[in-house]
């Protein structure tokens, strides 16, 4: 509904929207599950790094960053991902 939600308003970022576009909000009513979600993301990345090798793709443009509601690359991140033959052994207790 373009009358209720105009598309020509300011671009959302962390300074003009009172935390409304941050993933977990901020201030006194911040999401109580934000730390759990952050730890879950760390474990997911660790599992990917354990099972795959990541390398910048040949001929990939230099990585440029920009900020907004989140920090992200301006032109993507071109990588070559290969499966590890033998994942590192993790001791079990």
Q: For the segment 1-57, what is each residue's pLDDT rounded down to a tens digit?
A: 666 666 666 555 545 455 555 666 777 777 888 889 889 999 999 999 989 999 999
Predicted pLDDT at 58: 92
Identify the DSSP state of 90. Answer: -
11 in a labelled binding site: no
Q: Where are the domains of the chain?
A: 1-93
85: its two tokens: 């033959």
Of the candidates 19, 50, 47, the one whose C-alpha atom is nearest the C-alpha of residue 34 is: 19
Q: Per-residue pLDDT averaged across 55-83, rounded?
A: 87
76: its two tokens: 């993507």
């Amino acid at each position: 509904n373009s009358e209720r939600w105009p598309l020509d308003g300011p671009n959302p970022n962390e300074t003009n929207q009172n935390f409304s576009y941050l993933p977990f909000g901020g201030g006194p009513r911040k999401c109580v599950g934000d730390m759990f979600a952050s730890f879950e993301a760390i474990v997911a990345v660790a599992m990917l790094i354990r099972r795959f090798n990541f390398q910048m793709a040949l001929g990939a443009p230099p990585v440029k960053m920009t900020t907004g509601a989140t920090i992200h690359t301006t032109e993507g991140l071109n990588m070559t991902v290969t499966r590890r033959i033998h994942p590192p052994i993790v001791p079990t207790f």
